[in-house]
Amino acid sequence: EVQVLESGGGLVQPGGSLRLSCEASGFTFSNYGMTWVRQVPGKGLEWVSVISRSGGDTYYADSVKGRFTISRDNSKNTLYLQMNTLRAEDTAIYYCAKGGSSSYVFDSWGQGTLVTVSS
């Protein structure tokens, strides 16, 4: 069974940093692009970042470019999101998602981890 499990969320002050992790199982992790999507509580879904199978290609939403870094460790079946210079508007539930037929079709998701940016 395909599973992805996020961790690392929490409360952080504006300007602070946080690293999210996503542990994958049930599929050959290195064969798939992986994505982070976030949801501000009560709002819709926003795509954040994607990383290619090898990790050699990464892309970001304009809202996080220059502050967030996506990476992966295929030996550990784990995806990461390093979030720096956090802002109140980054407060959201962050979901890890596995790419499917296209890296931009998300066929398996985790339950998310909540990041709260507040003083």
Partner 1 sequence: MMMTQSPATLSVSPGERATLSCRASQSVSSNLAWYQHKPGQAPRLLIFGASTRATGVPDRFSGSGSGTEFTLTISSLQSEDFAVYYCQQYTFWPPRFGQGTKVEIK
Least Å from the CB of residue 43 to partner 1: 8
Position 66 contacts partner 1 (CB under 8 A): no
Q: Determine, following the binding rule CB under 8 A, whether residue 26 of this chain makes contact with partner 1.
A: no
47 binds partner 1 (CB under 8 A): yes
Residue 15 CB, shortest distance to partner 1, in Å, is 25
Minimal distance, residue 76 CB to partner 1, in Å: 21
At closest approach, how far in Å is the CB of 68 from partner 1? 13
Q: What is the secondary structure of the chain as a DSSP string?
A: --EEEEE--EEE-TT--EEEEEEEESS-GGGS-EEEEEE-TTS-EEEEEEE-SSS--EEE-TTTTTTEEEEEETTTTEEEEEE-S--GGG-EEEEEEEE-SSTTSEEEE---EEEEE--
The binder of partner 1 chosen from 20, 68, 106, 113 (CB under 8 A): 106
Residue placing its CB nearer to partner 1 in the complex, 48 or 75: 48
User: Pick from 118, 119, 116, 115: which is nearest to 36 by CA?
Assistant: 115
Q: Are 108 and 22 in contact (CB under 8 A)?
A: no
Residue 109 binding partner 1, by CB under 8 A: yes
| Chain residues that interact with partner 1, rule: CB under 8 A | 37, 44-47, 59, 61-62, 95, 97, 100-102, 104-112
